Structure 1
Amino acid sequence: MRVLVTEDDESLRVAVDASLRGAGFAVDTAVDLPEADEALSVNGYDCAVFDRMLPAGDSLRYVAGRRQAGWPVPVLFLTGRDAVDDRIAGLAWGDDYLVKPFAVAELVARVRSLCRRGMPGHAPVLRHGNIEVDGGRHEARRGGRLLTLTAKEFVVLERLVAAGGEPVRRAELIAVAWDEMVPPASNVLDVLIAQLRRKLGAPPVLHTVRGIGHLLR
């Protein structure tokens, strides 16, 4: 799942970026609305996080303009403004509203919820063979055995299970777990696949399709 975070406070931006990445999200950051607009013009996102007051103005107006043009991406607003009118305005154009100061763990949980809300037809529990992935509980099992997975291993397995036995390209698996800064030729995915294959156990179910990617069979 890929998230755009637009926040001009460097320390908060770095903290949110690190926490979301640690939870398995691919994250892009922007410091103002022009940077955010550029990122949104070239990338697809499952959720966007906006600080309300940015150097170029109130992000609420920016999001409202995009909403009126049919932009569907779920939005979480961050703000120090906690008046009832501010909350109502934020929820009119956004999907969630978090008042500063906040616990970063709560932000991660809210972003995860918004990302899943934005996936039409996304089943809360996915199955392929004897593998089961429960996105709501963030749990995965094989043959009823709970798997201990990292956040990145979980999102990769979830994408493979959703593919229903069809191969998923390397670039797509990298995109759901990391971001565009990781080149397709990087070995980070190979390391993760090896760890995931070991955790899934015998008989082998996670296979490599040379020159394409990986699949469950």
Structure 2
Amino acid sequence: IGAVDVIPLVPVQNVTMEECVELSKTLAERIYNELGLPVYLYENSASKPQRTNLADIRRGEFEGLNNKMQDKDWKPDYGTKPHPTAGAVVIGARKPLIAFNMQLNTANIEIANEIAKKIREKNGGLKCVKALGIMLETKNIAQVSANLTDYTVTSLFEVFEAVCKEAEKMGYEVVSSELIGLSPARAFIDTAARYLKLENYSYKKIIESHLLNLEI
């Protein structure tokens, strides 16, 4: 919706979600006061329930901002009208988002779309999961692209298994996967523990966690 689009504040270590929420509001106020850039607060910082989901705020995109801001339900938290060249920005505190893609052994984008439709929360699938089908032209294969907005609710393991299961039903399989951007170590440790069916498991059994007292 603007030159910056979104600024997430993610608590990693030695900071709470509540502190990040307060920081997001301070940052939002400063950006508006100093730059004249209107701000929407989202996720844990959202001022209204309908502003929690980033996709809902983005709907209409830059071109539709002026009309959107005239709706009393979609007035910015800071500001009243779009910046003429920079649009608006979305700011908020949230948990780490994991962008995880799975490649299929088919070039049929409809297969990827159908799988994505079945696994995403929007259509009654896995909670805290957004997904869509994408065609990788350079590799001539279809991909299920997923965003996990809270991996502690639905894990990487569960998403991967769900996509594999749906693909198998249609006579296809997942041939590879990829992580886009950064991910908390815990997401992969949880996946390994789940796959290995570990009993009496604790993060303190991870050397780095035990020695450095990391909050993984």
Do they superpose with TM above 0.5? no
More strand by share: 1
Question: Max radius of gyration: which structure?
Answer: 2
TM-score by length of 2: 0.30
TM-score by length of 1: 0.29
